[in-house]
Amino acid sequence: MGLLLLLPLLIPFVTAALALLTWRRRRIQRALALAGSIGLLVSALVLLLVVWRGGIQVVQVGNWPAPFGITFVADLFSAIMTVLGGIIAVAVVIFSHASVDSRRERFGYYPLLLFLMMGISGSFLTGDIFNLYVWFEVMLMSSFVLVALGNERAQLEGALKYVTINLVSSAIFLTAVGVLYSVSGTLNMAQLSVQLSQSRQPELITVVAMLFLIAFGIKAALFPLFFWLPASYPVAPVAITALFAGLLTKVGVYALIRVFTLLFTQDIGFTHALLLLIGALTMVTGVLGAAAQNEFRRILSTHIISQIGYMVMGLALFTPLALAGAIFFLIHNIIVKANLFLVSGAVYQLQGSFHLKKLGGLYRSHVGLSLLFLISAMSLAGLPPLSGFWAKFLLIRASLEVNQPVIAFVALGVSLLTLFSMTKIWAEVFWKNRPETAPAPKPLSTSVRLQLLLPVAGLSCLIVGIGLLAEPIFILSSQAASQLLSPAEYVTAVLGGTP
Amino acid sequence: MTIVLAFLVGGLYAGGLYMMMRRSIVKLIMGLILLSYATTLLIFTVGGLTRAAPPIVPAGVSEPPVPFADPVPQALILTAIVISFGVLAFAVVLIEQTHRSVGTDDSNNLRGIEGEL
């Protein structure tokens, strides 16, 4: 049983180590990366099934009983996130085969990708706040190198900003962990949950909560801490940008949801009201920023920010329905966002540019790709019956149930502006005639075309699937949300017996 | 002693952030280094300063005599130092490469992807 929980960490780790041993053997590394990501996905799915059937799963590493050792915990929310990580990893690895140049592949692209996946799974599954910091660093270190790999000028500049802001965020995170340890005397999240709820210094805990909000807010790109994202995400190879866009900011959101449901629930009137305000501002600034952009990847990158706002809104409303909505939104957004970036990468492979002015006419030459883009784009904007519609519907309904019509109005307005941005891309890249100066689409070999199309088509199927089979996903999300809202279950599972 | 360390930590945070606001990317790295020192010292200080009382359990007893120094913050610091060493080493190489390819250490000249338009 214990091994199953650790497999999402061990599989990427072992395959990454093997890929390091086969340095410069591209073929073997590719196969290992594919095997590692598929293994991750399968083990995560099995884990989700086990958690669904048997409740929260716990492993005490080295058999040290909690709270002395490091604990790994999988509740439904962690398991869902790990599955999503696996899905995106598989799609990105297949896409990388066709889109990443051989120079990057020779310099350790695949091992880094696998280490990144290990860091992400670790962050989702750990039950120890300091261990969370360590997994964040594993993840960041690989992502630093992946952003800079290739040594292009824009990449180095973007990487410098990305590294700096993340190191500041890590320093704040570590500071917060230190202060938290001094007020509670523990690092185990389950015990922290118990200690903090009985604390006699609620003011100090709110201060620590704010430190965590800033640290995770930088990673998740919340208002007003999002400025680094549009400057650094688009510089990397598009497969990497897709992985970052799909997963890295969402790890920040995951951490926010985890600490603000499990640990910091003493002063909901203040913390969650602040989160609601931040969520609204994040949505609005993100979508307005995107409307001003004219580069495929930059439009999508800026949209990441506005979508983060929706998830924070779900957390801030703090009702079962709202949290279920936030989790549904995470499921939907991770897939859609990664898919949109993959489409932009496929367009780049065809026409050699990301600038809307230099693109055009793809609907005439590539109907299939255009329709796949349209599915993702309309889902992002929230058109029924696609996945985005249900996610937004849940959130807006939740906000109306607790009499917060303003946030519902903001969410709807932002949706409309998202639709505007997406139609702008559609009109410029796919619908309008190809500009005189633009080259004709390059003919691609069948295997390249297959490797580009397969992940995009697969993710698009998932998007349509989530839209058509919304009910099972909704039941899963609301189960996960109810687990999040009753920390007692988590605490008992980790500490055992009476907490 | 705690007061002195508190001011030292505050000074390091302030100095680190100030250095990061400067335009030179070399000073940016200095700022990051100061910031990581500040964090390490902060964990050390908030963990409680207990002198000459190692947490060693005498034979026949199940707990060390109070007061004893808490070993956990020191384990955290050790981990944090190792991680920040690796990360900062990477950052130094990164600014070196950036300096080589951009030809300036003024962060105002770093325009990233917009530079390509």
Nearest chain B Cα to A159, which residue? B94
Q: Which of A144, A160, A175 sits opposite B39 (nearest CB)?
A: A175
Amino acid identity of A28?
I
Residue A71 phi/psi, 5° resolution?
-110, 140
CB of B32 within 8 Å of a chain A CB? The answer is: yes
Instruction: Tell me the per-residue pLDDT of A379-421, one tens digit each, with 9 for 90 and over.
Output: 999 888 899 999 999 999 999 999 989 999 999 999 999 999 9
Confirm whether A304 is domain-assigned: yes
Identify all chain A residues contacting B117, using CB atoms and an 8 Å cutoff. 295, 355
Confirm whether B35 is domain-assigned: yes
Identify all chain B residues contacting A160, using CB atoms and an 8 Å cutoff. 25, 28, 94-95, 98, 107, 110
CATH number, domain of B41, equals 1.10.287
- Name the pairing type of β-strands A71-74 and A57-60: antiparallel
Instruction: Tell me the per-residue pLDDT of B34-69, one tens digit each, with 9 for 90 and over.
Output: 999 999 999 999 887 888 788 888 888 888 887 888
Burial class (CB in 10 A: 0-12, 13-18, 19+), A200: exposed
CA–CA distance, A156 with A42 (Å, rounded to integer): 35
Identify all chain A residues contacting B112, using CB atoms and an 8 Å cutoff. 154, 157-158, 161, 231-232, 235
Confirm whether A277 is domain-assigned: yes
Q: Which of B79, B87, B95 sits opposite A141 (nearest CB)?
A: B87
Identify all chain B residues contacting A355, using CB atoms and an 8 Å cutoff. 117
Instruction: Tell me the per-residue pLDDT of A29-60, one tens digit each, with 9 for 90 and over.
Output: 999 999 999 999 999 999 999 999 988 999 88
Which residue, among A64, A143, A164, A187, would best test binding to B if mutated, counting the most B CBs under 10 Å from its CB?
Answer: A164
Minimal C-alpha gap between A228 and chain B (Å): 11
CA–CA distance, A391 with A379 (Å, rounded to integer): 10
CB of B9 within 8 Å of a chain A CB? The answer is: no
CB of B57 within 8 Å of a chain A CB? The answer is: no
pLDDT at B117: 44
Q: Show the tokens assigned to A76.
A: 């439904």
Please determine, for residue A442, whether its predicted confidence score (pLDDT) is greater than 80: no
The answer to whether A40 and A85 are in contact (CB under 8 A) is: yes
CB of B79 within 8 Å of a chain A CB? The answer is: yes
CB-CB under 8 Å, B20 with A182: no
Mean pLDDT of all residues in A354-383: 88
Confirm whether B19 is domain-assigned: yes
CB of B48 within 8 Å of a chain A CB? The answer is: yes
Amino acid identity of A102?
S
Confirm whether A133 is domain-assigned: no
CA–CA distance, A462 with A278 (Å, rounded to integer): 30
pLDDT at B111: 67
Q: Which of B35, B76, B94 sits opposite A171 (nearest CB)?
A: B35
Burial class (CB in 10 A: 0-12, 13-18, 19+), A250: buried
Q: Which of A158, A170, A177 sits opposite B112 (nearest CB)?
A: A158
What is the per-residue DSSP string for A394-423?
HHHHHHHHTT-HHHHHHHHHHHHHHHHHHH
Q: Which stretches of A185-295 are DSSP H helices?
A: 189-197, 202-220, 229-232, 238-243, 249-258, 268-291
Distance of CA A195 to the CA centre of its chain: 30
Nearest chain A Cα to B73, which residue? A178
Write the CA distances from A165 to A205, A225, A253, A392, integer angstroms: 25, 9, 17, 30
Closest CA to A296 of A402, A408, A377: A377
- Give the single-character DSSP code of A69: S
Which residue, among B83, B88, B104, would best test binding to A if mutated, counting the most A CBs under 10 Å from its CB?
Answer: B83
Instruction: Tell me the per-residue pLDDT of A51-92, one tens digit each, with 9 for 90 and over.
Output: 999 889 998 888 888 788 889 999 999 999 999 999 999 999
Number of domains in chain B: 1
CA–CA distance, A446 with B72 (Å, rounded to integer): 57
Q: Is A227 helix (H, G, I), strand (E, B) or coil?
A: coil
Confirm whether B42 is domain-assigned: yes
CB-CB under 8 Å, A178 with B42: yes
Confirm whether B30 is domain-assigned: yes
Minimal C-alpha gap between B65 and chain A (Å): 18
What is the per-residue DSSP string for A355-380?
BGGG---HHHH-HHHHHHHHHHHHHH
H/E element holding A72? strand A71-74
Residue bearing tokens 């690092």: A187
Please determine, for residue A438, whether its predicted confidence score (pLDDT) is greater than 80: no
Confirm whether B109 is domain-assigned: no
Mean pLDDT of all residues in A427-439: 83
CB-CB under 8 Å, B86 with A141: yes
CB of B34 within 8 Å of a chain A CB? The answer is: no
CA–CA distance, A191 with A69 (Å, rounded to integer): 12
Write the CA distances from A223 to A49, A171, A305, A416, integer angstroms: 36, 19, 8, 20
> Binning pLDDT at 50, 70 and 90, where does residue A95 land?
very high
H/E element holding A181? helix A153-184
Q: Is B82 helix (H, G, I), strand (E, B) or coil?
A: helix
CB of B19 within 8 Å of a chain A CB? The answer is: no
Dihedral of the CA atoms B97, B103, B106, B109 (nearest 10)? Answer: -100
ipTM topping 0.95: no
Confirm whether B59 is domain-assigned: no
Number of domains in chain A: 1
Confirm whether A441 is domain-assigned: yes
pLDDT at A497: 59
> Binning pLDDT at 50, 70 and 90, where does residue A98 land?
confident
- Best-predicted range by mean pLDDT (A293-302, A348-357, A389-398): A389-398
CB of B55 within 8 Å of a chain A CB? The answer is: no
The answer to whether A216 and A256 are in contact (CB under 8 A) is: yes
Pick left, alpha or beta for residue A404 (phi over 0 → left; psi -120 to 50 → alpha; otherwise beta). Answer: beta
Average pLDDT in chain A = 90
Q: Which of A137, A232, A295 sits opposite B87 (nearest CB)?
A: A137
User: Within a 13 Å sphere around the CA of A275, how many CA atoms are in the beta-carbon half?
Assistant: 32
Residue A223 phi/psi, 5° resolution?
-65, 135
pLDDT exceeding 70 applies to what percent of chain A?
A: 99
Please determine, for residue A331, whether its predicted confidence score (pLDDT) is greater than 70: yes
Confirm whether A177 is domain-assigned: no
Task: Give the domain range for residue A329.
Answer: 270-485
Confirm whether A115 is domain-assigned: no
HEC string of A339-359?
HHHHHHHHHHHHHCCCEHHHC
CB-CB under 8 Å, B94 with A148: yes
pLDDT at A318: 92
CA–CA distance, A471 with A157 (Å, rounded to integer): 45
The answer to whether A15 and A32 are in contact (CB under 8 A) is: yes
pLDDT at A1: 61
Instruction: Tell me the per-residue pLDDT of A198-210, one tens digit each, with 9 for 90 and over.
Output: 888 888 899 999 9
Instruction: Tell me the per-residue pLDDT of A139-167, one tens digit each, with 9 for 90 and over.
Output: 999 999 999 888 788 888 888 889 999 99
CB-CB under 8 Å, A157 with B42: no
pLDDT at A35: 95
Q: Show the tokens assigned to A174.
A: 């570590």
Confirm whether A338 is domain-assigned: yes
CB-CB under 8 Å, B46 with A181: yes
Closest CA to A452 of A347, A376, A360: A347
Identify all chain B residues contacting A187, using CB atoms and an 8 Å cutoff. 72
CB of B90 within 8 Å of a chain A CB? The answer is: yes
CB-CB under 8 Å, A148 with B47: no
Nearest chain A Cα to B113, which residue? A154
